[in-house]
Structures are given as C-alpha cells and as structure tokens.
Structure 1
Amino acid sequence: MPQAMACQIVNQVKDRRVERGWSQEQLSALAGVSRQSINSIERNRYVPSLELALRLAQIFDSTVEAIFQLEELP
C-alpha cells in the first residue's frame, strides 16, 4: 500500500493581487469575503473552500491549479 506523503498547500494569491495593484480590501470586496480572510489565505493560515478558490481563480482569470499548488514537505 502506498504511503501518504506530507504536503502543504501554497498559493499565488498575494502575487496575483499585487500584480494587479489591488489592496486586500479591494480583493476581498470582489471575492465577497473579509479582508482578514484574504490576509489569512495569503499567509497560508487558512485554506479557502472550493467555492472561494474557484471564485478567486475567476477573479484572476486563471485556474485553481495555477493559484493553489500542493507541495511535498521534506
């Protein structure tokens, strides 16, 4: 039986937001969540729901896979 690997989710939310010149408040208004939620996502302290991940991908005209990646821990 294959062993489960230890992973973490990393994201490009802050990079995408900064590229567009948006504040956390602006992105939170577009996404319909609080600024604190955006801050927590950017700092990898909160994993968004599938619905929010899809909404963020749509806002950034991207895919969920391009914004959120699963990285193996050493």
Structure 2
Amino acid sequence: MNIENWWPLLDSSTQQWLINNNGDVVPASILDQITALAGHPTADTSWVGSNVPEEFYLADEAIDWIEKIANDEDSESE
C-alpha cells in the first residue's frame, strides 16, 4: 500500500508528528500505526527507507510527499 493510501487513514496527531518530524527516525508507536494500515514493510515497499533493527526511516519519496502535504501542495504534481 502506498503512502497516498494509508496517510488519510492515520489519526491527525500521527500525521502531524510525521509532518513535524519529517525525515527523522520513525518511533515504534508511529510505525505500528502505519503497519496496522499498510501491512508490514518490506524492502520493496515504496515508503520504506533505511530499516535497521533500532531505527526506521521513511524513503526519500515518502519524505518529499509529506513535505508537499505539509505545504498544501498537490501530491501528484511536480
């Protein structure tokens, strides 16, 4: 499932955390909410960045998408 699909299903406080901390390590509690909606991430999941045992990051593409949302830009346009 792409970020465009699970983002609107997140609660507003989780969305706000992701906007405020865009590019930072995603805490387990936030990742748990995402995976409850999108399923467990795999290496080929588009929104997955580096994923090491203690740290999870969103992919650059997902970070850019969130930045566009934060700036009230259309997520489909360049």
TM-score between both structures, scaled by the size of structure 2: 0.37
Larger radius of gyration: 1
Q: Which fold has the larger relative contact order, with Cα–Cα distance below 8 Å and residues 6 or more apart in sequence?
A: 1
Give TM-score scaled by structure 1 length: 0.38
